[in-house]
Structure 1
Amino acid sequence: MELLAMFHQGGLVMYPLLLCSIIAVAILVERLRTYKKAKSNMAMLREEIPAHIHEREALLDICVRDGGVAAEMVYAGAEQGGTPEQQNQRMQSAAVTIAGRLRSYLNYLETIVTLAPLLGLLGTVTGMISSFNVLSVADGQPFAITAGVGEALIATATGLCVAIIALVIHTYLVQVQDKLITDMEEMGNVYIGALTGMPLMNDGEQVREVAGDVSAA
């Protein structure tokens, strides 16, 4: 009941702030479910893909059974066969598409991080305007302005809380997304290395030659 009373005291800006918080939590839930499905069994892929590098049907079956984005990228390269260069190009295209899919909705969180404090500031301004209006007509009633001040403080605090929560959610999801992209880059390295017989590099250069600079796409 106290929270509900504070919500009403915060003024009209509390409603868009509530909407922002709901959207942030909804994005978190949706992205976590998506990223869970996108995660590959990297230990299995590192072992199975080189072992079946020249058995295309078995290789494709391994990718389908894994279901993660790293396996999806390898599947895109191996599905139609061809030279290592052709498969490399198809994997690069698939990696860029997958990376864009992994970034879906994160821009909304960035917007909420910026918007929520501004809404809180708007509530501060409207609350102070109410306070001065009350003060001008409430001569001899020094406590008449407290409602407006309370509205201003509640709106400001709520806006900051929503922005902080959205920022934490965004940072966490970006880290998970980056890990998935790193898995894609590593698996591109493993696949092309096994296909061409090239030794795997530890410095990540061959990874980016295969998958492209996906994280910056």
Structure 2
Amino acid sequence: MDFIIILKKYLNEAGLSAYLTIGNALFLIYLGIERFNYLFLRIKTVSPEAWNEINKKILQRDYNSVLQICNMTKDSPQIEVIKAGLMSLDSGREAMKSALGAALVNITKNCEKKVNLIGLIASVATLLGLLGTITGLISTFKAIEVADAASKAAKLSSGISEAMYSTAAGLSVGVAAMVVHALITTKIEEITNEAQYTGYTFATLVEKSERGED
């Protein structure tokens, strides 16, 4: 109940910038949940046991077994890279490297989808807080022109409240967006680094298998 009362007071005091800031906050919540679900829950990593088995089968040039192992793991960028390499093996070394690079680009694109919007929210929310601060100060200065002391006090209070509420709300949403953006970009870097390492390891193992090395 206290939150509802504070929210109503904020909407009454802060004016248009309040509604825009709340809109930004709701959009941030939607984007944050969607990206966290994809990056932290949906995407899976290859288990050490499966990875060791894949390495062994590649060195043995048993690519059908590698593909079977890959088909057992869904929603894994590492598996996506390995599959891309497997499908291009018959086309030559350069084609394989191109396929691995294309897979990495696709993984990065899927991970970074909508992330730039979260960064935009951080900037916009802060600017909306500044906008509310300015409009509140304008209302405060206008109140100085009022002759009646009682009206002047009420308008001064309203203008100052609008400025303070807008600043606090804008900064709160902006800081939250920056934190969400930092967490997501860190996870994206971790995922893409793993995918790049997988591509490098796959190419190295294929070269070793062709030379007959263990």
The answer for the alignment partner of 2:199 in structure 1 is: 188
- Cα displacement (A) at 1:138: 4.3
Q: Structure 2: state its 5+ residue gaps.
A: 210-214
Q: Mark the CA change 1:138 to 1:56 in structure 2 (over 3 Å): closer, same or farther.
A: farther
Q: Which position in structure 1 is the counterpart of 2:174?
A: 163
Match of 2:135 in 1: 126
Identity %: 26
Across the aligned residues of Structure 1 and Structure 2, the Cα RMSD in angstroms comes to: 1.7
Structure 1 consecutive aligned stretches of length 4 or more whose deviation exceeds 4 Å: none
**SS of the counterpart of 2:98?**
helix
* 1:47 corresponding residue in structure 2: 52
Aligned partner of 2:102 in structure 1 is: 93
Aligned partner of 2:81 in structure 1 is 73
Contact 2:88 2:95 in 1 (8 A): no
Structure 1 distance, partners of 2:20, 2:49, is 46
Query: Higher helix share goes to which structure?
Result: 2
CA distance in 2, matches of 1:184, 1:88: 14
Q: Which of structures 1 and 2 has the bigger CA Rg?
A: 2
Secondary structure at the residue paired with 1:66?
coil
8 Å CA contact retained: 2:10, 2:18: no
Write out per-residue CA displacement over residues 16-71 of structure 1, whole angstroms, 9 at most, x where no aligned residue. 11111111121111111211322322524431221221222222222232220111
Which of residues 145, 162, 172 is equivalent to 1:136?
145
State the number of aligned residues: 198
3-state SS of paired residue (1:137): coil
TM-score, scaled to structure 1: 0.85
The answer on whether the counterparts of 2:129 and 2:167 sit within 8 Å (CA) in structure 1 is yes
